[in-house]
Structure 1
Amino acid sequence: MSSSGHLAESGGSLSGKVAVVSGSSQGIGAAIASELASRGANVVINYPSPSWKGGAEKVLHDLEVPGIIVEADLSTIDGPKKLVTETVEAFGRLDILINNAGVIAAAPLEEQTLEQWDALVNLNGRGVFLLTKATIEHITRGSGRIVNIVSTSSKHPGIGQTIYAGTKGMVESFTRCWAKELPPKYGCTVNAVSPGPTSTAGLAEARDAKKEISSFLDSAYSQTPVSARPGAPSEIAYAVAMLCEEKARWINGTHVVVSGGLVID
């Protein structure tokens, strides 16, 4: 753990809040961390293994607010608890959880394997389950926020997304269940944000790796009403941060689709 674990005293609509963003050393997670920090939140940057540490340190450096980085592999049994424990040890509180960490794999059903099943289900599904369980023990009563990052693939999957779309459907169902179960007990809200295709390094790599993915994305962009392009990570982050605001206290169980109208839920 690398830390600057004292609470920020700067202004901002989320000043004094502590936000855990899982899988935040790059991509959408890093953008969410940046947006929350810009609103005054103290942000916990999570990365899964030593090879990702440099990216996490850069994200934290660029935030210019107190925060920490925590190495915790959320696909393991112990990783989620470690992330929460180190957050509470550093800040003494936990207000916001963004369940962002995830992995994608795309292949024809005939080629998908049990190894891929384990990798995706353990991180995308079980990781969200265990991290949320660990969080609610500490989440600030009466004003906590949980936002699950799902995907438009949960309802409108592309070809080859059997396992990935299934895991995201699982998290969408978690959101519906928890939005009914958790607020009466913990006073938090639980919502979901589903990005459409978003301009990240991972998307670029997938596009370069497989011709069929490139064709799928080109088709998706051409059908997007707002503009024929992928979303920007900052655009996803804005929707997430909005749900974390105090003024969003009456928004619960909502699924916000951020796709430029490509998918209308």
Structure 2
Amino acid sequence: MGETNHHTNGTDTTSLNRQTLHDKIAIVSGSCSGIGAGIARELSSRGAHVVINYPYSHLLHVANKVLHSLATPGIGVEADLSTVDGPGKLIDETIQAYGRIDILVNNAGLAVNLPFAQQTHEHWDRLVNLNGRGTFFLTQAALPHLPKNGGGRIVNVVSTSARDPPVGQSIYAGTKGMIDSLTKCWAKELPGRYGCTVNAVSPGATRTEGFADAGPEAMIHLQPHIDATPVAPRLGEVDEVAFAVGFLCEERARWVNGTHLFVTGGLTIG
């Protein structure tokens, strides 16, 4: 379903030089929009074949738009990672198509911006099951399919909310804190057995569809932080986050493990 850019005439050396992930197989969870779609495009631009994940059938047309924007052919897989069976379904369909997994980017996640007293059991279940449990079991299911000779990459998309949460993000910040801790644990445990690295990227406030949906009350709390960003008083862009993820997936990033990159314009330092 994706479109392919062919560089066979030997003249486009700039494009050829960018194919540093040529023929790698990459899963990006939650990748039919926002940061996930940006990460998919970044990895594809480096030569990877990307699995676009979307949770519900009515989002197929959105996923197809992302697929057709990729530089290399990819596939779309419908899998709701908040369900018990979703993570295994995403892995199984990837293996059926490609036979292996080189890169796993755990990006799928939901946020709720409400006063603590208004957050409910339903909010808890939705966020914990997707952000926490989904990431845990998707990673677990992927491990046997990483390259046997090493070189696999696991990148967890966390959030600055894990360490510096704004008001109204109790459950979201808690789930992202879980992924922050899992990254540290997995970075110690998994490389020796599975030959992979495990790292995290935390975006700050980033210009996405989801951010636009946060609402005016959330912006009241977030705007002072945005204005205080050292590099510039603005939102981050999706391609800036995607570039950081792409770097961690490179072969030359093989000695980077257990690192947490904050893509915030310097708002989160130390």
**Pairwise TM-score range, normalised by the shorter structure:** over 0.9
Map 1:3-42; keep pairs closer than 5 Å: 11=16, 12-42=19-49
Aligned partner (choices 188, 203, 207) of residue 211 of structure 2: 203
Work out whether residues 201 and 263 of structure 2, in 8 Å CA contact, stay in contact via their aligned partners in 1: yes
Matches within 5 A, 1:62-101: 62-101=69-108
Hey, what's the Cα distance between the residues in 1 that align with 2:27 and 2:76?
10
Q: SS in structure 2 opposite 1:243?
A: helix
Q: 1:26 is aligned with what amino acid? A: S
CA distance in 2, matches of 1:168, 1:196: 13
Distance 2:243 2:131 in 1: 22
Deviates more, 1:8-17 or 1:177-186: 8-17
- Decide whether the 8 Å contact of 2:41 with 2:71 is kept in 1: no
Note if 1:135 corresponds to 2:110: no
Supply the distance in 2 between the matched residues of 1:231 and 1:216 (Cα, whole angstroms).
17
CA distance in 2 between partners of 1:9 and 1:184 (Å): 37
Equivalent position to 1:48, from 55, 60, 72: 55
User: Any idea what SS the aligned residue of 1:191 has?
Assistant: strand
Residue 9 of structure 1, CA deviation? 9.5
Q: Alpha-carbon deviation of 1:53?
A: 1.0
SS in 1 for 2:39: helix
1:183 to 2:202 alignment: no
Partner of 1:244: 249
Q: Which residue of 2 aligns with 1:254?
A: 259
| CA deviation profile, 1:156-211 (whole Å, cap 9, x unmatched) | 000011100000000001000000000000100000000000000111111xx3x3
Number of aligned pairs?
258
Instruction: Label 1:187 to 1:9 Cα distance change in 2 as closer, same or farther (>3 A).
Output: farther
Alpha carbon RMSD of aligned pairs, Å? Answer: 1.5
Return the offset for 1:64: 3.0
Residues 95 and 49 (structure 1), Cα distance of their counterparts in 2 relative to 1, 3 Å cut: same
The Cα shift of 1:217 comes to 2.4
Unpaired stretches in structure 2, ≥5 consecutive residues: 9-15
Cα separation, 2, equivalents of 1:214 and 1:181: 39
- The alignment partner of 2:145 has SS state of coil
Name the amino acid aligned to 1:92.
Answer: G
Q: Where has structure 1 moved over 2 Å in runs of 4 or more?
A: 8-11
What is the match of residue 120 of structure 2? 113
Q: Give the conservation status (yes or no) of the 8 Å contact 1:33–1:43.
A: yes
TM-score normalised by length of structure 1: 0.94
Q: Does 1:154 align with 2:162?
A: yes
How much has 1:54 moved relative to structure 2? 1.1
Question: Is the Cα–Cα contact under 8 Å of residues 9 and 15 in structure 1 kept in the other structure?
Answer: no
TM-score normalised by the chain length of structure 2: 0.93
CA offsets 1:214-264 (integer angstroms, 9 cap, x no match): 112211111000011010000000000000000000000000000001111
AA aligned opposite 1:199: R
User: C-alpha distance in 2, partners of 1:170/1:229?
Assistant: 28
